[in-house]
Amino acid sequence: MIDNILHTLRRYAPAILLIGFFALLAAAGCLLAPTVITPVPAEELPTELPTQIPEETPTQIPTQSPTEPPTEAPTQAPTQPPPKEARLEDVPYYSQKGLLPTGCELVSAKMVLDYYREEPCTVQEVVDHTLCQYPESADGRTYAPHPENAFIGSPWDDSSFGCFAPAAVKMMNELLPEGYEAVDTSGTPLMTLAQTYIPQGTPVLVWVTIYMAESFPSIGWYLYDADGNPTDIWYEWPANEHCMVLVGYDESKYYFHDPYNSRGLVSYSCETAEKRFAEIGCYSAAVREIS
């Protein structure tokens, strides 16, 4: 009987062991039940994509150009106001008395020329280098050049007229030493001439009137053009025309070397001198150094 029991156990042992194994799993709660996935409603799904962290661009060090020195504006020397007064003491003086009765322009020019020359020029040299021309009559008219272009008449003749700055400048440039040139400064105000040239040691030829008397139109003539041809242009000589050398100024007066009648150094009020200077036409000339 015992043998029959042992034989039965051996026959069903695998099934009994398998049943026992599942029983142990169930008892331990280790049996796996099928997983049920509960669907999520559509409205609960995230509506935004996850924020993407942007890729960082590598920081680029800016290329630095070679350092250039800052451009500086040229240093401008402060403009100094002109002195309130100035006088030239070493300009030679000559009188036209007994030399050139109507040649005040040429005698004044000789003062300026000799200021720059080592050897004084002669009066004859000054006259010889000046274009002089008497008025001429033709077809019932009197013709002559403009006084800017020639001395009208002759400086030796007491009934002649004179010339203006352009004619004097041309003559002076033939007699000045090397390194200097005469320039026509006509049209420049008298005070500007004084404040510009006198402090620099430069005398100035200026056209005014004798004794600073009032000027007025006097004898006239028809003009020749630049080629010497007669024109219909009528010109009237300004009465009392006179040329002197400006050698100084102050706040109320101008100082001149006056060649007329050996008058020497004279002074006139700024107002009067400027008025006569304008009446004659603001003619003037000066000398400058050239390289």
> Tens of pLDDT along 162-219?
999 999 999 999 999 999 999 999 999 999 999 999 999 999 999 999 999 999 999 9
Percent of the chain with pLDDT over 90: 70
Predicted pLDDT at 10:
53
- CA triplet 131, 135, 137: central angle to 5 degrees? 140
Q: How confident is the model at residue 80 (pLDDT cuts 50, 70, 90)?
A: confident
Q: How confident is the model at residue 125 (pLDDT cuts 50, 70, 90)?
A: very high
Predicted pLDDT at 42:
38
Look over the chain and give the mean of its residue pLDDT values, rounded to a whole number: 82
**CA gap 214, 123 in Å, rounded:** 29
Predicted pLDDT at 226:
86
pLDDT in tens, 34-57: 433 344 343 333 333 333 433 443
Over range 246-260, report the average pLDDT: 98
**CA gap 86, 267 in Å, rounded:** 13
What are the sequence ranges of the domains in the chain?
86-285
Comparing 74-78, 97-101, 250-254, which segment has the lowest mean pLDDT? 74-78
Instruction: Residue 184: name the closest of 86, 254, 290, 288 by CA.
Output: 288
| Residue 32 per-residue DSSP state | P
Burial letters 75-88, b for 16+ CB under 10 A, else e: eeeeeeeeeebbeb
Over range 122-141, report the average pLDDT: 96
Decide: residue 108, CB within 10 A, 0-12 exposed, 13-18 middle, 19+ buried. buried
- For the entire predicted model, the pTM comes to 0.73
- The CATH number of 86-285, from 3.90.70.10, 3.40.1160.10, 3.30.360.10, 3.20.20.20, is 3.90.70.10
Decide: residue 126, CB within 10 A, 0-12 exposed, 13-18 middle, 19+ buried. buried
Does pLDDT of 244 surpass 80? yes
- At 107 the three-state DSSP class reads helix
**CA gap 112, 220 in Å, rounded:** 30
The amino acid present at 9, given as its one-letter code, is L
Does pLDDT of 141 surpass 80? yes
**CA gap 150, 171 in Å, rounded:** 10
Comparing 4-18, 176-190, 251-265, which segment has the lowest mean pLDDT? 4-18
Predicted pLDDT at 242:
98
Phi, psi dihedrals of residue 243, rounded to the nearest 5°: -120, 135
- CA triplet 269, 165, 182: central angle to 5 degrees? 105
**Residue 286 C-alpha from the chain's centroid:** 22
Residue scoring higher pLDDT (129 or 82): 129
Percent of the chain with pLDDT over 70: 73
Asked if residue 285 lies in contact with residue 183, where contact means CB atoms within 8 angstroms, the answer is yes
Predicted pLDDT at 11:
53
Q: How many residues does the chain have?
A: 291
Does pLDDT of 123 surpass 50? yes
